[in-house]
Chains A and B, each alone.
Chain A
């Protein structure tokens, strides 16, 4: 419950009990109840917080397709000896497989072809060939090696990761954050989505608008997709031949006419519309500044790497995410595709890592330099992990890996996260979790806690229920990750 809905309920009750005779304040309520983005952005949502928030904003880097945990972070040296041996039944335990490999005659083990080394004060194991930059961040990030989910295919798994449910229709994380935290910038959306282009496009997965839908939450909490090609926000640019002055002139006329009409019809929505047209004008002014990187100093490019200058790259998107964070955008979701390595791990992993390695490092350093790291939560990870056994042909240098929901690795940094933590462990095969499992719901509960919300109580009335991000199944905050 938040005070706004409490207030609304109180009002409803009051009206209810007094037979509609005491409806004063209902107009104000109607405006507050999400009809007016400006009014909402101004209202003190913070008092809805149930804890002191550690993170004021989130940058979520979703690796679409499901990166291979044992090739990046979940070091499994024992597997070297198991090359081309069958995955023991004692490990597989008859668990279900996707129909892409369930018909395979054998499940031969494919040890990671990559060298690993230890980094940071806690000696975190990481791929030492492909992550030269990011591995320097070991003391800033917390690894969760024991993530797990139920979904075994992309659509349901991504939907689960983003909305807490495998089937479409629920609000996604960014929408919940927007609903809970409100806006901190009157000129920009609260929740922004960036779809980054991977440099290798061998096996892309679908990323659909449902992943930034507000579900049953009011529509203004839906994510606004910023585009890397064309206008950053749809329709933000004036038509050709319409200058800012011309636009101002037309808006002044519209406003004057709307004000006359407001007096005649008395509908408060007219005033809201006037305000929204003004906000549109301010957005038009602020977005070009947001997306114009020319003022970035040379040091920025050194941090993020030269790709950051290319529109649409992951590096470019991450830099934009930092600029959004600076301007108060609550939730920036970046999707980076092509991690679905059913085949050719050896051929695809290097370019995937090159895409993200320096930008992730750059983002952490940059936020630190700007004093934003403390209250900006960064999350990195896919929708599930991958199998230790090969899908298709196996050689020492190349193999494929199928989907694996029973364990995978994610990392988090900044905004209330304890750096240098390695949480959870998997068996020698990176197949089953042996220590401290973290379900997607637990991650969501932890995320909400960092934003200041108790996941049990952070809810929205829907179909008579207090609907929650974490749903009705048990979920727990992973305290060990908290600073």
Chain B
């Protein structure tokens, strides 16, 4: 923690509470005298003003203004008696003499108290007059002047071109871009360059990369199997959002609650993936409630870090020790995130619901167009239906039973058995137009009130063998039907109404089957591996009534070719098995009431069994089912028929209306097209609110899922501003609260993050913590000015970036003198320009860019570039589908690093070496270590060696045989500048020695040039190319190259 004095001081020795006193209290006192009541001793809390000046139960205030001698706070600190001294010796925290002196002076000066600055909404301060034209510079220079420092001169134009290109696009500029800028003497040349870079689609990629750390984006679930999770459309959304410069408030609202916006667009739903990026598990034995508690916890923490700059995670187990976040606040906030439809386990699936299919390219256009097309046709359907009704009114007056009978008649009938004799040992039927009889079982019973006359009552021992009927092959279309009736009791046991199926031969054949309230159809070659089975889903079979059931099958061999109609109406079906590929013919006879060779017995009454050799039309089926009732209805005079009876007649009339059929066919085709697009499209994980459910959560004692307390309604941190009156109590309301004007944190936290990305360190160094224990801002007035400016100017992110990089502060040279370095090693005062090691992705992308290998492609699924073997294998479970890493070939090897497949339990190895996070948790800002493992990556990784060779090759191709020109070419690509005279001999000497080695050792030459997938240009002399490759590698490993 580097604490710098705040801006202008009132007087040199004036002690300022927020700057001087609060940090001491935080360090030594808050743990026992802070906001956490559980840890609080003696009821004293120094996080509030009352703690200092309020009357205590057993005495006066802890601080008497102006009088340290009467202030217990001071007396306890300087006490010598171990029983009195504060902090107690067992805490091993001893105030330093200077700190004690500060507290004393503060009291002497009147003990002026201040609320923590970050919890007070920012007010835009005036820009200091006269110091500079640019507001950033005005604040920075005022501060520098107070410190007796002067700003550095501008960086030279080449350095500046490189810096600003890297900051705005993550990529170095091409030598041509650099020269164009260097040679542009017009005023505003720099601003022109900035605007060009801001307009580049690379801008969005680069900004997205930072955001994805905060969003903990990755391509696997994270825990246990750590399987693939399809999430990249969200990444694409982030890139696009930055490129189209979406307002930050919208950007926020859509990510937190896009699904709750009115009529959310696809894009708004994709945005909600932000909170689907958390790690999830499917470990066997885990407890649902525990997982859900962990997911919600992660979401509260992430939201707090990213927007509020608060370490709310502390409040998961107890009230926050320092900041005014209660444990109740934490769980109230978690309620917002516990009201979604996401399950506790990720099923190890790529698509853990809720997900959204995201059609790409042409598919996306069609996918968007189809609903409108369907709506248009639907309108026509409605129109036509009205016309049919109108026509039907006339028809109703004249319709006759004969007409209905004609409608029910189909000339593809194979067989019909009425089963309504009511007595006797035989039953009569028609088979292939000829009358035929079949024997009835001896015990056969009759149910008097059949659908038409008495009906056979089949059951155990009374199934009926109808002989050689229904011997269908799987290529053959057919229709089978019957009337059936079961009592409640009879409906309990499953059984075949009709079947030609051999139980003894793996159920080969087909049947129409009831099981409780559903009807199933089986077509089987060998159960279960070679069969299809579909079943109704909505309780189609009802006991206690006669129902007409018909199955049609189109001979396709697919479950989709089967339809079940009940009472003439097609039912919704579930496909349970769809794996039929061989013959279904069997020798057993056609049975009513059970399968051949035994099997489940159907108990109930059956009538009018029919078989057809075609798929009957809907009209046929309806007419057949309706015929018995319509006979009765039609006997009545037209005027006496009830509206319901008229409706039934009309339904028959409108069925199979050719125009309606055509329109419905079109709708079905569009529906299929849509489904096909959906099926082949990538998915992305989204948030969906539970319907009819209020957000609620329980406080978990010490954060433990199995110790829930009373229900809490969703709510925000109570010590901050209130939720807007108009805001709904759900995630949308939370998002509105985050972006509310009264919010003291979001704008500050956000501009600070942009500042950090550009200048290396935030104005508040602890970018994820603006709480009481945060680092004091180096330029508080500048921070507030920027925050208000950002908020009041449409949350315009490009405008903010432009503001930062067009300041003189940004443009300064980064060179630092020993004196300045000693004075301000971390450049918090900004007397020089930013210079720091680039992040992992920039290091790799720059190498690809300067070599000419970088693919320009934007977006798409994650790719797998080079990686040493075994990185995944070493950690992955054998069952994981991200167990073995196989590098791809071609373009995938050269994509920008933000597209690299991110497996959370083994992040990309070369990126991890440069402090890329694991993406298991939200990460605000990265570490910047400087380690030997990093040197090994840029020296030895195939990616970098190949890039060096490619750069060398390009240089040789461009410069023919002039070594100086070759060197110059490479330097301009890598460093954006020509080499200095003192640098040239060093590289020439290297090159000479390397050339000697590779000339003498052809095997090494061949080996080196074979690194990577691309082939070297055969026109170039191999030893030369090898030597220049290593020189290119030298340039690419310079500290200057690795720094922006």
Q: What's the minimum C-beta distance from B244 to chain A, rounded to whole angstroms?
A: 34
Q: Are B285 and A153 in contact (CB under 8 A)?
A: yes
Kindly list chain B residues whose C-beta atoms are within 8 Å of the C-beta of A218: 927, 929
A279 to B1042, CA, bound (A): 18
CB within 8 Å for A208 and B772 given contacts A36-B930, A257-B986: no
In the assembled complex, B398 has its CB within 8 A of some CB on chain A: no
Q: Are A242 and B1030 in contact (CB under 8 A)?
A: yes
CB within 8 Å for A98 and B311 given contacts A15-B4, A266-B821, A464-B769: no
* Per-position binary interface string of chain A over residues 181-200, scored 1 when its CB falls under 8 Å from any chain B CB and 0 otherwise: 00000000000000100000
Q: Are B874 and A195 in contact (CB under 8 A)?
A: yes
Kindly list chain B residues whose C-beta atoms are within 8 Å of the C-beta of A234: 868, 871, 909, 913, 933, 936-937
In the assembled complex, B726 has its CB within 8 A of some CB on chain A: no
* Per-position binary interface string of chain A over residues 454-467, scored 1 when its CB falls under 8 Å from any chain B CB and 0 otherwise: 00110001011100
Interface residues of B in 869-898 (CB under 8 A from A): 869-871, 873-878, 880
Q: What's the minimum C-beta distance from B566 to chain A, rounded to whole angstroms?
A: 37
CB within 8 Å for A246 and B997 given contacts A155-B283, A206-B905: yes
* Per-position binary interface string of chain B over residues 1018-1034, scored 1 when its CB falls under 8 Å from any chain A CB and 0 otherwise: 00000000100011011
Kindly list chain B residues whose C-beta atoms are within 8 Å of the C-beta of A34: 929
In the assembled complex, B1011 has its CB within 8 A of some CB on chain A: yes
CB within 8 Å for A27 and B284 given contacts A155-B224, A465-B321: no
In the assembled complex, A91 has its CB within 8 A of some CB on chain B: no
Kindly list chain B residues whose C-beta atoms are within 8 Å of the C-beta of A353: none
Kindly list chain A residues whose C-beta atoms are within 8 Å of the C-beta of B774: 464
CB within 8 Å for A239 and B281 given contacts A17-B102, A276-B932, A276-B934: no
Kindly list chain A residues whose C-beta atoms are within 8 Å of the C-beta of B940: 235-239, 242
In the assembled complex, A123 has its CB within 8 A of some CB on chain B: no
* Per-position binary interface string of chain A over residues 61-104, scored 1 when its CB falls under 8 Å from any chain B CB and 0 otherwise: 00000000000000000000000000000000000101110000
* Per-position binary interface string of chain B over residues 9-53, scored 1 when its CB falls under 8 Å from any chain A CB and 0 otherwise: 100100000001001001000110000000000000000000000
Q: Are B815 and A35 in contact (CB under 8 A)?
A: no
One of B75-83, B554-562, B711-719, B999-1007 at the interface: B999-1007
Q: What's the minimum C-beta distance from B930 to chain A, rounded to whole angstroms?
A: 5
Q: What's the minimum C-beta distance from B242 to chain A, rounded to whole angstroms?
A: 27
Contact among B92, B226, B870, B997 for A208, CB-based, below 8 A: B226
Q: Are A260 and B826 in contact (CB under 8 A)?
A: no
Count, A-B residue pairs, CB within 8 A? 304
Q: What's the minimum C-beta distance from B1015 to chain A, rounded to whole angstroms?
A: 15
Q: Are A206 and B986 in contact (CB under 8 A)?
A: no
Q: Are A13 and B98 in contact (CB under 8 A)?
A: yes
CB within 8 Å for A235 and B1004 given contacts A13-B96, A153-B286: no
Interface residues of B in 147-163 (CB under 8 A from A): 147
Give the most central of A17, A20, A253: most B CB within 10 Å: A253
Contact among A20, A96, A230 for B870, CB-based, below 8 A: A230
In the assembled complex, A201 has its CB within 8 A of some CB on chain B: yes
In the assembled complex, B199 has its CB within 8 A of some CB on chain A: no
* Per-position binary interface string of chain A over residues 335-371, scored 1 when its CB falls under 8 Å from any chain B CB and 0 otherwise: 0000000000000000000000000000000000000
Q: Are A30 and B932 in contact (CB under 8 A)?
A: no
Contact among A12, A153, A270 for B1, CB-based, below 8 A: A12
Kindly list chain B residues whose C-beta atoms are within 8 Å of the C-beta of A23: 822-825
Kindly list chain B residues whose C-beta atoms are within 8 Å of the C-beta of A46: none
In the assembled complex, B907 has its CB within 8 A of some CB on chain A: yes
Give the most central of A208, A225, A249, A457: most B CB within 10 Å: A208
A246 to B1031, CA, bound (A): 11
A272 to B825, CA, bound (A): 15
CB within 8 Å for A265 and B986 given contacts A12-B1, A219-B927, A239-B1008: no
* Per-position binary interface string of chain B over residues 185-229, scored 1 when its CB falls under 8 Å from any chain A CB and 0 otherwise: 000000000000000000000000000000000000001111000
Kindly list chain B residues whose C-beta atoms are within 8 Å of the C-beta of A15: 2-4
A239 to B904, CA, bound (A): 28
Kindly list chain A residues whose C-beta atoms are within 8 Å of the C-beta of B816: 265-267
In the assembled complex, A105 has its CB within 8 A of some CB on chain B: no
Q: Are B92 and A1 in contact (CB under 8 A)?
A: yes
Residue of A nearest to B704 (CB): A150
Q: Are A26 and B868 in contact (CB under 8 A)?
A: no
Kindly list chain A residues whose C-beta atoms are within 8 Å of the C-beta of B174: none
Q: Are A280 and B939 in contact (CB under 8 A)?
A: yes
In the assembled complex, A474 has its CB within 8 A of some CB on chain B: no
A152 to B1001, CA, bound (A): 60
Contact among B225, B285, B826, B998 for A206, CB-based, below 8 A: B225
A1 to B225, CA, bound (A): 39
CB within 8 Å for A266 and B815 given contacts A15-B4, A206-B875: yes
In the assembled complex, B453 has its CB within 8 A of some CB on chain A: no
Q: What's the minimum C-beta distance from B883 to chain A, rounded to whole angstroms?
A: 10
In the assembled complex, A207 has its CB within 8 A of some CB on chain B: yes
Q: What's the minimum C-beta distance from B93 to chain A, rounded to whole angstroms?
A: 8
Q: What's the minimum C-beta distance from B194 to chain A, rounded to whole angstroms?
A: 23
Kindly list chain A residues whose C-beta atoms are within 8 Å of the C-beta of B678: none
Q: Are B286 and A26 in contact (CB under 8 A)?
A: no
Q: Are A265 and B877 in contact (CB under 8 A)?
A: no
A27 to B224, CA, bound (A): 44
Kindly list chain A residues whose C-beta atoms are within 8 Å of the C-beta of B880: 206
Q: What's the minimum C-beta distance from B1039 to chain A, rounded to whole angstroms?
A: 5
Kindly list chain B residues whose C-beta atoms are within 8 Å of the C-beta of A220: 929, 931
Q: How many residues of A contact B (CB 8 A)?
A: 102
A24 to B313, CA, bound (A): 37
In the assembled complex, A14 has its CB within 8 A of some CB on chain B: yes
Q: Are A403 and B314 in contact (CB under 8 A)?
A: no
Q: Are B875 and A209 in contact (CB under 8 A)?
A: yes
Q: Are B932 and A227 in contact (CB under 8 A)?
A: no
In the assembled complex, A19 has its CB within 8 A of some CB on chain B: yes
Q: What's the minimum C-beta distance from B944 to chain A, rounded to whole angstroms?
A: 9
Q: Are B994 and A249 in contact (CB under 8 A)?
A: yes
* Per-position binary interface string of chain A over residues 260-272, scored 1 when its CB falls under 8 Å from any chain B CB and 0 otherwise: 1110111111101
In the assembled complex, A205 has its CB within 8 A of some CB on chain B: yes
Q: Are B771 and A464 in contact (CB under 8 A)?
A: yes
Kindly list chain A residues whose C-beta atoms are within 8 Å of the C-beta of B1043: 267, 269
In the assembled complex, B982 has its CB within 8 A of some CB on chain A: yes
Q: What's the minimum C-beta distance from B459 to chain A, rounded to whole angstroms?
A: 35
In the assembled complex, B581 has its CB within 8 A of some CB on chain A: no
Q: Are A239 and B3 in contact (CB under 8 A)?
A: no
In the assembled complex, A163 has its CB within 8 A of some CB on chain B: no
Q: Are A277 and B1037 in contact (CB under 8 A)?
A: yes
In the assembled complex, B910 has its CB within 8 A of some CB on chain A: yes
Q: Are B990 and A276 in contact (CB under 8 A)?
A: no
Q: What's the minimum C-beta distance from B58 to chain A, rounded to whole angstroms?
A: 28
* Per-position binary interface string of chain A over residues 26-57, scored 1 when its CB falls under 8 Å from any chain B CB and 0 otherwise: 11011000111100000000000000000000
Kindly list chain A residues whose C-beta atoms are within 8 Å of the C-beta of B577: none
Kindly list chain B residues whose C-beta atoms are within 8 Å of the C-beta of A297: none
Interface residues of B in 944-987 (CB under 8 A from A): 945, 980, 982-983, 986-987
Q: Are B1026 and A224 in contact (CB under 8 A)?
A: no
One of B249-257, B358-366, B416-424, B914-922 at the interface: B914-922
Contact among A235, A256, A283 for B937, CB-based, below 8 A: A235
Residues of A at the B interface (CB closer than 8 Å) are 1, 8-10, 12-17, 19-20, 23-27, 29-30, 34-37, 96, 98-100, 152-155, 167-169, 195, 201, 204-210, 213, 218-220, 224-225, 227, 229-231, 233-243, 245-247, 249-250, 252-254, 256-258, 260-262, 264-270, 272-274, 276-277, 279-280, 283-284, 402-403, 456-457, 461, 463-465
Extra A-B contacts (14), CB below 8 Å, given A257-B986, A265-B814, A464-B769: A24-B822, A27-B821, A36-B930, A152-B287, A168-B920, A206-B876, A209-B905, A240-B1011, A241-B998, A247-B939, A250-B990, A250-B1030, A279-B935, A464-B321
Report 15 cross-chain contacts, Cβ distance below 8 Å, ordered by A residue: A20-B829, A98-B286, A152-B285, A204-B877, A213-B918, A235-B909, A240-B1008, A249-B1030, A257-B983, A257-B986, A260-B983, A268-B821, A269-B837, A269-B930, A277-B1037
**Which 10 residue pairs spanning A and B have beta carbons closest together?**
A464-B773, A241-B1008, A208-B905, A98-B285, A241-B1007, A240-B1007, A280-B932, A280-B935, A235-B936, A253-B990
